Amino acid sequence: MRYRLTFIAGVALGYVLGTRAGRERYEQLRKGAQRLSENPAVRNAAESAAQGGRDFAGKAYHSVSEKVGDRVPASVSGRVRSLRERSGHNGHGAGDDWGTTNT
């Protein structure tokens, strides 16, 4: 799926850059993309995917930390802890960089 989306984005970018229709067609495509991104169904799907990713990452983090346990050097665990605190991803319902919430 990732490769398909990358291909579609590349085709769209190539079309926009290579088109002879000019600014009018570019504005038409831009408005269509903006309408799509503002669509509530698309926004809900994006938020659901982001939430699923956060859930999966949390489960993976706990699974790995249980298996690794105390074998991680203190410098590494301290670095991870400081990065999580600095980015605000401490699992307390804070929003992420994409404007979605952890609800």
Domain annotation covers residue 38: yes
Domain annotation covers residue 72: no
3-state secondary structure 35-94: HHHHCHHHHHHHHHHHHHHHHHHHHHHHHHHHHHHHHCCHHHHHHHHHHHHHHCCCCCCC
* Mean pLDDT over each residue of the chain, to the nearest integer: 77
> pLDDT of 18-68, one tens digit each?
766 677 877 888 999 999 989 999 999 999 999 998 888 888 877 887 777
- Residue ranges making up the domain that contains 55: 2-66
Domain annotation covers residue 94: no
Instruction: Report pTM.
Output: 0.43
Total of domains in the chain: 1
